[in-house]
Each structure stands twice: as C-alpha cells, then as structure tokens.
Amino acid sequence: MLPDPNLHRLLELNKIRENRVHYAKVEGAPYVVTKLDGTIKVFSAICPHALGDLSYGTIVEAQIDCPSHGWRFDLNTGLCQWPDDTGQRLKFLETEEHNGWLYLRKAPNDYSL
C-alpha cells in the first residue's frame, strides 16, 4: 500500500503500448492512458468538446481523434487540431510510477478532471 491517499492505481506499466489507447477508471471517472515517444500521457476519457468517449478514439501521428464528432487533439500539447481555433484542449494529469504500476495523482473528491 502506498502512503499517499491521493495516488490511485491505473495500469501495469508493461501493458502500456506506444500510440495505443488504454482505458482506466478511478473512482468512477474514465481516463485514457497512452504512450507517445516513450512518455506516458493520461487525460480524461471525456472529450472536452461534446463529452464523447475518447477511449474509443484512434491515435494517428501524435493526435487522438474523438469517435463522436471527429475532433482531433494533439497529444503533445493537448490543443484541438481540428477544427482549428476552438480553444478546447485535453488536460494532461499528473502520474507517478511505483513497483511496475502507473498511478494517477488525484485529490479525494476532485471531480474537475
């Protein structure tokens, strides 16, 4: 058991593949976990545009496409790439690695993610 109650286990590190969408849930909230050029990215699976499920999205050229409306987000910056200039973006979340597992750092009752 980890001493920090704000760490929540997501996935085993050896199961996280490059340019693949992985789904994880913490306290009922859905998240996408992916690896891009060796760097793990975690963000809400709920599209900031129209609440589509990004865990069903596809990753092409460092971007994830939302399956609901086709909006595309850059996985380096989080910014929406299509359509242009929407102001919508993904919020990347803080994670830690311990004993072969990836953990999400999330304060209790933090529903803003």
Q: pTM for the whole thing?
A: 0.90
User: What contacts 64, CB < 8 A, 6 or more positions away?
Assistant: 21, 32, 34, 54, 57, 58, 72, 73, 75, 90
Q: Give domain 7-102's CATH number out of 3.20.10.10, 2.60.120.10, 2.102.10.10, 3.10.20.30.
A: 2.102.10.10
Give me the residue label for tokens 């340019």. 19
Tens of pLDDT along the chain (113 residues) come to 567 889 999 999 999 999 999 999 998 999 999 999 999 999 999 999 889 999 999 999 999 999 999 999 999 999 999 998 788 999 999 999 999 999 999 865 555 44
